[in-house]
Structure 1
């Protein structure tokens, strides 16, 4: 998220809800003990029409429980509000669902609906008895209305143990944020339904998933189906999620968006992560650990087939980079470094998932945009990657998007080319001589692919370009670690001016491209400019 702690989602307004969604209090007791509202007809087609109609109406913020009490449900207090799994939704299905409580960082009311097999939906009515709320807990003072549901978890199957012990593998909580677990058993970065002007000059807007409808998975091989209504001052949307539990998590996502107001930068299929520092660039004594990040690079597979790796930065000011494309084949924020010794702490950054967006139809012209925001701590999400379609994003405009979102260790479509495995910076110039203040040394490492099969004595040729400055002291060599196909190219860049410098590099022999393309945005230090 932008400009907020990773545990803070949004401050929300209180207002009356939508008449259709906040209906009367008639109740029924479900077999699982949940209280249910009256049956209402539901279909995805209705939800899409409703989102379109809603965009033509003035925005009404969702209701929220007593703000004074909710503000006192801080991070620790929220963590003690365990959901009682004997009240799980679809407890006998492959993947039971539990609900999450409002709190300081998740203060809004989100409606939950159980879909029956007959085309009807029944709201799951909030009851404080669903949660372990002790008499001394601040949440015990909340009234039953409005609902104190804030989000939900999708859990592992009952076959893995008692419901009280099965772990969750997907969560939707706060604004329109959601996450999935990766192959290595960790959650990390987030995705969003939509991003509106992240990191821009004005205030970023955070619309909400304000209602969900659930269909159970028919078996462990089948997906959980979730429908969602998105609403905010500038946009409404109807979403369909098919949540698959595989090696990691794969989500089939269909989004139908309608703009209430003009949006300067409409971010579709947005990904949000944290990057503080890595081996690339770290201030002296910043932290005892070698690296701290949920993602270390933006990976792109362009419409013309080029594979691009862009290492992330923690800049000293907001940086927005745009990569023009047409019908991209995919993009993602990746965690490539999987070595524990490169992190050394106990929060398992080496196991954080990568997230990859795969368009399922032609998206047309637009840009993949990378937003990097300064941070001085790991508690802040400061990285956004979004797709912005070309055009004027004015009121009344509609967007329809289908894509897959993978939560895996790596890109689901790896390239045959060697990949960039490290970017290192240092003083420029010659050893044993004074370091020239206008030179910066770069070392870019590539590994695997065709580099493993180079004939003895063949040295790859680096293809280097820069938006400004000049190169010197270029050298390419095999990394002296006896690992086949591990090469590095080194060069000095003479700095020219204070603005960021765009760098580009790949390795080749004759006409054969050996590696993916390395892109890097270098921010000169004050003494270099």
Structure 2
């Protein structure tokens, strides 16, 4: 089972939504006479929140009972994509329901303000000879959509964005391969009573002009705890940039909400490579959490694959951004000729407006295989959202390369047992090359050169040693500590010069 199908299984099996009415045009497949406005999606979400939640009906049993191979035996015919026979700048493909997608979504195109329902049509899909016969009656519909546009090749539209499964979606820059995902919203992630997965139930796709650079997608969300209206202004390119506007209506009190949630996979790197019998030096979609907090401080927290679920909170007020990054960009970093982990995108969340007090929250879940998405990151507001409240937020998602933060980045973190001297653990942190390090000479430290700042609330550490790394041109910091009987240690390190930051802040949680 691929990671995508596992993600789909979790989100669709656990997520729940309610049945909503379709526009009049859905029964005739003719464009409606009422102009479409995003305000109408917001109003539908508002009304939905006042009603008792109910599950949408599932697709027929034979669709649900397919094997993975059965499901993959049918695929969309791109020549029949929405707008394929026009000069519009985007095409839309559809995904089949069933297997891990028990409830269909409703899809509408919007042309010159008028809505047209896109009815389910299995004849838009090619079928392998092994594809099973399936019923054509019942609650059928598409499970999601795929966006395609022209990048580098003339007369060819390449895919770059997918919405499928609960409120999951993902995108790539022009030179990237699909990796981590985002969600419309996270609820109760890591809570003992279980996570709630809101679902996008309806999509409205604004027909683009022939030379239009962006694509606008509207979505209606529903779940037992809330409803919501989303607007995605999507601009693909070297990076894919999405401006997201959301209006949420709380049915119940929401004590644990995750805004701008991201989902990824981290199996191993140099910090835990010894636990996996694998020819590849690393396996991950993302390797670290990057945060630019409200004070402008830049934090880097390498990801972990812990023995037990762990949650880390980085308390802040009005964060400037956060995201899950993939910094390893060479094939040799992974030695995987099929998965292309070195091409997986980073994803940066930039709040547009003040998000108040709360915490960037990182959830790390134990995983023994790369098919499991085990990393979640989101912003958790400090105060609960009251039942009946309306919440508006906007933010920007950038899929591709990470943002330029000016300060030298951490390239790698490694850990191991001390070989000589007293017992303990040795930590290695590699910083990339920077003009700030131009005057550095091995072994020198002090005013006007570089100062090493290392701290921990749990243990004493050595002072640390800096050396030039001839392979990267940057600097390597080495220090050690003795954990004793403790099962986890929080560590912090940063390079400073003339009293100012000379690197991002490295944060690490060592565990047994």
TM-score (norm 2): 0.92
Aligned to 1:454: 439
Structure 1 residues 372 and 398: CA distance shift in structure 2, 3 A? same
2:430 aligns with one of 427, 442, 445: 445
Give, in angstroms, the shift of residue 136 of structure 1: 5.5
Which has the higher mean CA deviation after the structures are superposed, 39-48 or 395-404? 39-48
Aligned partners of 1:125 and 1:147 also within 8 Å: no
Alignment of 1:225-236 (within 5 A): 225-236=216-227
What's the offset of the Cα at 1:16? 7.5
How far apart, in 1, do the equivalents of 2:138 and 2:32 lie?
17
Contact 2:16 2:224 in 1 (8 A): no
- Are the equivalent residues in 1 in contact too, given 2:73–2:128 (CA < 8 A)? no
Deviations 1:315-354 (A, max 9, x none): 1111111111111111110000112112011210000000
CA 1:499–1:265 in 2, change beyond 3 Å: closer, same or farther? farther
Confirm or deny that 1:249 pairs with 2:240.
yes
Separation in 2 of the partners of 1:516 and 1:390? 26
Summarize the Cα distance change of 1:284–1:61 in structure 2 as closer, same or farther, 3 Å threshold: closer
Aligned to 1:83: 76
Q: Paired residue for 2:92?
A: 97
Give the counterpart of 2:118 among 113, 124, 128: 124
Question: Which residue number corresponds to residue 5 of structure 1?
Answer: 6
Between 361-370 and 76-85, the greater mean CA deviation after superposition: 76-85
Query: How far did residue 273 of structure 1 move?
Result: 0.3
Matched, 1:27 2:17: no
Work out whether residues 275 and 296 of structure 1, in 8 Å CA contact, stay in contact via their aligned partners in 2.
yes
User: Is the 1:222–1:244 contact (alpha carbons within 8 Å) kept by the matching residues of 2?
Assistant: yes
For 1:305 and 1:255, locate their aligned partners in 2 and report how far apart those are by CA, in whole Å: 26
Match of 2:506 among 487, 493, 518: 518
2:311 to 299, 314, 320: 320
The answer to whether residue 107 in structure 2 is matched with residue 112 in structure 1 is yes
Which shifted more, 192-201 or 8-17?
Answer: 8-17
Aligned length: 502
Determine helix, strand or coil for the equivalent of 2:177. Answer: coil
Match of 2:19? 17
Q: Secondary structure at the match of 1:77?
A: helix
Q: Does 1:478 align with 2:473?
A: no
Cα distance in 1 for partners of 2:320, 2:383 equals 20
Aligned equivalents of 2:4 and 2:341: distance in 1? Answer: 22
Aligned to 1:31: none
What is the CA-CA distance between 1:38 and the residue it aligns to? 5.6
Kept in 2, the 8 Å contact 1:183–1:407? The answer is no
Kept in 2: contact 1:74–1:105 (CA 8 A)? no
- Give the 3-state SS of the residue equivalent to 1:129 in structure 2: helix
- CA gap of 1:136–1:376, structure 2 versus 1, over 3 A, is closer
Deviation at 1:496, TM superposition (A): 4.4
CA contact (8 A) 1:331 1:356 kept: yes
The answer as to whether partners of 1:113 and 1:124 remain within 8 angstroms in 2 is: yes
- Aligned to 1:304, the other structure's residue is in SS state coil
Rounded Cα–Cα distance in structure 2 between residues aligned with 1:390 and 1:499: 28
Q: Is the 8 A contact 1:176 1:207 kept in 2?
A: yes
- Equivalence for 2:477: 489
Q: Secondary structure at the match of 1:519?
A: strand
Q: Give per-residue Cα distances to partners, 1:366-401, cap 9 Å, x unaligned.
A: 111001011000000010110111212332222211
Q: CA deviation at 1:170?
A: 0.5
Q: CA distance change for structure 1 residues 40 and 99 in 2, over 3 Å: closer, same or farther?
A: farther
1:427 to 417, 421, 434: 417
1:28-72 alpha-carbon deviations (Å, 9 max, x no partner): 4xxxxxxx5765553211111111121121112222210x21223
How many Å separate the matches in 2 of 1:517 and 1:158?
37
CA distance in 2, matches of 1:362, 1:131: 45
Structure 2's unaligned 5+ residue stretches are none
| 1:274-319 residue CA offsets vs partner (Å, 9 max, x unmatched) | 0000112223443221100000000011111101110000011111
Matched, 1:142 2:135: yes
Alignment check: 8 A CA contact 1:275 1:378 kept: yes
Partners of 1:14 and 1:390 in 2: how far apart? 26
Residues 45-84 of structure 1: matches in 2 within 5 Å?
A: 45-66=39-60, 68-84=61-77
Secondary structure in structure 2 of the residue aligned to 1:125: coil
Which residue pairs with 1:351 in the alignment? Answer: 343
CA distance in 1, matches of 2:391, 2:434: 39
What root-mean-square deviation, in Å, do the aligned CA atoms of Structure 1 and Structure 2 show? 2.5
By how many angstroms is 1:132 displaced? 1.8
Q: Tell me which residue corresponds to 1:289.
A: 280
CA distance in 2, matches of 1:487, 1:341: 21
1:188 aligned residue: 179
Say whether residues 1:509 and 2:502 are aligned partners. no
Question: How far apart are the structure 2 equivalents of 1:441 and 1:300?
Answer: 25
| Change in CA separation of 1:268 and 1:284 when aligned onto 2, cut-off 3 Å | closer
Question: Secondary structure of 2:95's match?
Answer: strand
Q: Which residue of 2 aligns with 1:32?
A: none
Pair 1:176–1:100, CA change in 2 (3 A) = same
Shift of 1:74: 3.2
> In 2, Cα distance between the equivalents of 1:27 and 1:263?
39
The Cα of 1:155 is off from its aligned counterpart by 0.8
TM-score by length of 1: 0.89
Cα drift, residue 519 of structure 1? 0.5
User: Which of 500, 506, 518 is 2:488 aligned to?
Assistant: 500
Q: Deviations over 1:448-496 (max 9, x none)?
A: 2344422556443210111201113732221244x43x11111111214
Q: 1:501 to 1:348 in 2, by over 3 A?
A: same
Change in CA separation of 1:248 and 1:416 when aligned onto 2, cut-off 3 Å? closer
CA separation of 1:55 and 1:7: change in aligned 2, threshold 3 A: closer
The 8 Å contact of residues 239 and 399 in structure 2, kept in 1 or not, is answered as yes
